[in-house]
Amino acid sequence: MPANFIPTTADYLRTLPEIILIVAGTLLMLLEGLAGERNRKGTGPIALVAILAAFGAAFLAGLDNRGPAFQNFLIIDDFATFFRLLVLVVGAFSVLCSMSYFERENNDTGEYYALILFSLVGQCLLASSNELIMVFIGLEISSIATYILCGFQRDDRRNNESAIKYFLLGSFATTFLLYGVAWIYGMTGTTKLDEIGKLVADPRAIDTPWMVAACCALMFVGFAFKVSAAPLQSWTPDVYQGAPAPVTMFMSAGPKAAAFAVFLRVFTTGFSTLGESWMPVVWISALLTMIVGNFAALTQSNIKRLLAYSSIAHAGYVLVAIAARSEIGTAAALFYLASYAFMNLGAFAIVTQFSRAKERYVLVEDLAGLSQRQPVTAALFTVFLLSLIGVPLTSGFFGKFYIFKAAIDSKLFWLTVLGLLNSAVAAYYYLRIIVVMYFHEPGQSADTAPAPAPGISITMWASAVMIVVLGVYPGLLLRFATISSFLPK
Partner 1 sequence: MPPAPPAVPLTAYLIVSAILFSLGAIGFVIRKNVITMFMCIELMLNAINLSFVAFSYKHGTVDGHLFTFFVMVVAAAEAAVGLAIILTVYKNRNTLMADDIDSLKL
Which positions lie near partner 1, rule CB under 8 A? Answer: 133, 136-137, 140, 144, 147-148, 151, 154-155, 157-158, 160-165, 167-168, 171-172, 175, 178-179, 182-183, 185-186, 189-191, 237-238, 241-242, 300-302, 305
Choose between 321 and 436: whose C-beta lies nearer to partner 1: 436
Contacts of residue 153, defined as CB under 8 A and 6 or more positions apart, other chains included, come to 105, 107, 159, 244
- Burial tier of 413 (Cβ tally within 10 Å: 0-12, 13-18, 19+): exposed
Choose between 60 and 144: whose C-beta lies nearer to partner 1: 144
CB of 360 to partner 1, least distance (A): 15
What is the C-alpha separation between 218 and 220, in angstroms, rounded?
A: 5
| CA-closest candidate to residue 311, choices 363, 241, 409 | 241
Choose between 15 and 330: whose C-beta lies nearer to partner 1: 15
What is the C-alpha separation between 270 and 205, in angstroms, rounded?
A: 14
CB of 407 to partner 1, least distance (A): 33
CB of 119 to partner 1, least distance (A): 12
CB of 110 to partner 1, least distance (A): 18
Choose between 160 and 445: whose C-beta lies nearer to partner 1: 160
| CA-closest candidate to residue 270, choices 199, 183, 180 | 199
Residue 8 backbone dihedrals phi, psi, to 5 degrees = -100, 170
Choose between 39 and 175: whose C-beta lies nearer to partner 1: 175
CB of 247 to partner 1, least distance (A): 14
> 453 near 370, Cβ under 8 Å?
no
User: Is the bond preceding 231 in cis, omega lying within 30 degrees of 0?
Assistant: yes
What is the C-alpha separation between 216 and 64, in angstroms, rounded?
A: 34
Choose between 306 and 436: whose C-beta lies nearer to partner 1: 306
Count of positions (residues) in the chain: 489
CB of 385 to partner 1, least distance (A): 21
> 372 near 475, Cβ under 8 Å?
no
End-to-end Cα distance, the chain: 32
CB of 154 to partner 1, least distance (A): 5
Choose between 304 and 400: whose C-beta lies nearer to partner 1: 304
